[in-house]
Chains A and B, each alone.
Chain A
Amino acid sequence: MNPILMAIIVVTVIGLIGAVILVAASIFMYVPVDERVEQITAVLAGANCGACGCAGCADYAKSIVEDGNAVNKCTPGGAACAAKVAAIMGVEAGATVPMKAVVACSGTCDKTGKKYEFQGVQSCQAVKGLYGGDGLCKFGCLGYGDCTRACAFDAIHIVDGVAKVDRDKCTGCGACAAVCPNAVISIVPEHKRKPVVLCQNKDKGPDTRKACTAGCIGCMKCAKACPKEAITVENFLAKIDQDKCVGCQICVKECPVGVIHVPANE
């Protein structure tokens, strides 16, 4: 027999047998797939960012359908996306709380001073490596704008020596928080009334005073005044538990150095 013909026949026969086996297998071993998974995957933002805590959009869609995961975890998609997913699943969307970056430092140029004159590469990362930064306070905003360069939305700028967040533009992506060498920036759920301690200084009161007039001295006044016991002072630094806080703002008035504020655009 012609060897070429033989070769063609052999490959075709093997292919055909394989096809028959696969078709038979897909019929006999059919596993029903929930079509909602695909619908939800199509609705999600598709960024595969992992903000929801799953390995990707498809994975999140699967966990919504199969494990009853919450429908409002897609940060890039926001409320509109949550509503669509909720419609597919037939449940209430629940509120999505927008997240905003907060710079926990109040040490503007008139409140604190410089330890030395820095003339190296103009970045927070560089100045941090030299005696822990050029500021008198080694915890506060360094003010060389690494966050400004990291921000994709032009939402954070150095104003008067301290990074300032434009809350209209901020999406809460956390890029600035990730690059800040002093970890001054945190991502906090937006709330119209709940205040935040805008200081990071963990030194004792007198030391803080010497470095900055707008620094938390750990006086405990806010902690004592808080009716909900939402404020704890640790390492001479007050911290407000956002879950316990009810937004009464007594601490804002009590603070002698005025570092407790509700974050807002001025």
Chain B
Amino acid sequence: MVKLAAIFFTMILVDNYVLAKFLGICPFLGVSKKLDSAVGMSLAVTFVMVMATAATWPIYKLVLCPDWAVGTDRDMSYLQTIVFILIIAILVQLLENFLKKFIPALYKALGVYLPLITTNCTILGVTILNLDNGYDFIESIVCAAGAGIGFLVAMVLFSGVRRRVEQAVTPKCFEGLPITLVAAAVTSLSFMGFGGIVDAIFKA
């Protein structure tokens, strides 16, 4: 249990996918303009991350690279990128159909963000890094949920930063994307301050 909690909070604070691993920068910059759309996107990402992990982990362990196949000809772990993309695309499409039919309210809330997530590198990153870290199934799911919440935290924080930046008087040459990138860098730097904090709490 302690290990799960450690994984969860590490993903949020220390190994934040956006601010520490620099995955998913595109939605981070593109959708963080308004708080409500930032929250919508993040929730959709969290949802898909967990679902994608739940789908890819068994496929990797059962089809691509079962434990007995490691080191033999049967080891197809090199296929994981292409297969995972395929699975995530199928999953998102399926999810969209499902939500449209059975949970229209959620479908409406997630709106355009759901299909956008198909090609989001954080999703692929989470599924692959879970396996690289050697997590078992439950740990992978917790890790994915933590990564999603971490994404949410980063998006919400940054939408606040961005509102302040937009109200401030910016030099002409920095207007628009440049000042946004500078603000993103400073936000990311501030997250570096969390380094080691989770280890210290859970292993003390």
Residue A6 CB within 8 A of the other chain: yes
Q: Is A119 an interface residue (CB 8 A)?
A: no
Of the candidates B73, B86, B97, B101, which one forms a contact with A3 in the assembled complex, judged by CB atoms under 8 Å apart? B73
Chain B residues close to A by CB (< 8 Å): 59, 63-64, 73-74, 76, 79, 82-83, 86-87, 89-90, 93-94, 97-98, 100-102
Write the nearest CB–CB distance from B119 to chain A, whole angstroms: 16
Give Cα A11 to B59, complex, Å: 12
Determine if A18 and B90 form an interchain contact, defined as CB atoms under 8 angstroms apart: yes
Compute how far the CA of A25 lies from the CA of B94 in the bound complex, rounded to whole angstroms: 7
* Bound CA–CA A3/B74 (angstroms): 7
With contact pairs A14-B86, A18-B86, A22-B90 given, residues A7 and B101 touching in the complex (Cβ less than 8 Å) = no
Q: Which residues of A contact B (CB under 8 A)?
A: 3, 6-7, 10-11, 14-15, 18, 21-22, 25-26, 29-31
> Does B90 contact A10, Cβ atoms closer than 8 Å?
no
- In the complex, what's the smallest C-beta–C-beta distance from A259 to chain B, in angstroms? 35
A11-B86, A21-B90, A25-B94 known, 14 other contacts, Cβ within 8 Å: A3-B73, A3-B76, A6-B76, A10-B63, A10-B79, A14-B83, A18-B86, A18-B87, A21-B94, A25-B93, A25-B97, A29-B98, A29-B101, A30-B101
Q: How many A-B contacts if CB must be within 8 Å?
A: 45
| The 3 residue pairs across chains A and B that have the minimum distance between CB atoms | A18-B90, A29-B101, A29-B97
- Give the docked Cα–Cα distance between A18 and B85 (Å): 12
Q: How far does the alpha carbon of A10 sit from the alpha carbon of B63 in the complex, in Å? A: 8
The answer for the CA separation of A45 and B96 in the assembled complex, in Å, is 29
* Interface of A: prevailing SS: helix
A121 to chain B, nearest CB (A): 14
Which residue on B lies nearest to A58, using beta carbons? B112
Kindly report which residue of chain B lies nearest to residue A29, judged by CB atoms.
B101
Q: Known contacts A7-B76, A31-B100; is A22 also within 8 Å of B93 by CB?
A: yes
Assembly CA distance A63 to B74 (angstroms): 55
Please, which residue of chain A has its CB at the minimum distance from the CB of B100? A31
Task: Give the CA-CA distance A31 to B94 in the complex, in Å.
Answer: 13
Contact call A10/B64, Cβ cutoff below 8 A: yes
- Nearest-neighbour CB distance to chain A for B41, whole angstroms, equals 15
Give the chain A neighbours of B59 by CB distance below 8 A.
14
A18 to B87, CA, bound (A): 8
Complex interface: chain A residues within 8 A of B87 (CB) = 14, 18
B75 to chain A: closest residue by CB: A3
Min C-beta distance of A189 to chain B, whole Å: 30
Contacts of A25 in B (CB 8 A): 93-94, 97-98
Residue of B97, B98, B102 with most chain A CB atoms under a 10 A cut-off: B97
Complex CA gap A31/B97 in Å reads 9
In this complex, what residue of B is CB-closest to A13?
A: B63
* Chain A residues closer than 8 Å to B100, beta-carbon distance: 29, 31
Neighbouring B residues of A30 by C-beta, 8 Å: 101
Once the chains are docked, how many angstroms separate the CA of A18 from the CA of B55? Answer: 12
User: Can you report 25 residue pairs joining A to B where beta carbons are below 8 Å apart?
Assistant: A3-B73, A3-B74, A3-B76, A6-B74, A6-B76, A7-B76, A7-B79, A10-B79, A10-B83, A11-B82, A11-B83, A11-B86, A14-B63, A14-B86, A15-B86, A18-B86, A18-B87, A18-B90, A21-B90, A22-B93, A22-B94, A22-B97, A25-B97, A29-B101, A31-B100
Report the minimum CB–CB distance from B29 to chain A (whole Å). Answer: 20
Among A7, A11, A14, A26, which residue has the most Cβ atoms of chain B within 10 A? Answer: A14
Contacts of A31 on B, CB cut-off 8 Å?
100-101
Q: How far is the CA of A81 from the CA of B79 in the complex (A)?
A: 52
Distance in Å: Cβ of A62 to nearest Cβ of chain B: 10
In the complex, which of the residues A11, A15, A18 contacts B79, with contact meaning CB atoms closer than 8 Å?
A: A11
